[in-house]
Amino acid sequence: MRVHTGEGTGAAVEAEIVALATSGATTLVGLMATDAWTQARSRFAALLGRGRADPGALAGDLDEARAELVRAREAGDDAAAGEAAAEWRGRLRRVLRDDPAAVSELREILAEFTPQAVEPVHAEVHNSISGTVGTAVMGRDLSGFTIGAPAPAPRRGR
């Protein structure tokens, strides 16, 4: 994604800012429940506090948001993460709109805390089965089925 900071239509720039803010908010909320939170908290607090008289106050806001998210998850409130992401998306969008230099800072944060894409592994796999076996599943990167599902009833002779 490339955010333009001076050229192009206002709608295109706004759409790109919203997309970047969404990615940032999703990453931020996801990091709240990880061991990387302490590092992420200070980076996001500095970004969100740009241009404010007391940027340190953002660290308190982030800690409060994290505590609310943890309580909500413990209570089984699955919507809490989405609500938190929506709140932080709006705040990030305002920072990105008001300070174009914040765009590159957010990208650096995302690069630091977002898992990088892994190159696909191309390996030869040779499987073989001999003898009498029940259900056998062989492959790589399998999904969409349940192991241990009841076997179909045996068919009676012809």
Geometric angle at alpha carbon 14, from 112 and 83, rounded to 5°: 65
pLDDT digits (tens, 9 = 90+) for 5-45: 445 567 788 888 888 998 999 889 888 888 888 888 989 99
Residue type at position 113: F
**Single pTM value for the model:** 0.62
| Rounded Cα–Cα distance for residues 39 and 36 (Å) | 6
pLDDT at 2 over 60: no
- Higher-confidence residue of 82 and 137: namely 82
Alpha-helix runs per DSSP H in the chain: 10-31, 37-48, 57-74, 79-98, 101-113
Q: Are 115 and 31 in contact (CB under 8 A)?
A: no
Q: How many CB atoms lie within 10 A of CB 90?
A: 13
Mean pLDDT of 47-75: 85
Give the pLDDT confidence score for residue 96 in this predicted structure.
93
- Round the average pLDDT of the chain to a whole number and report it: 77
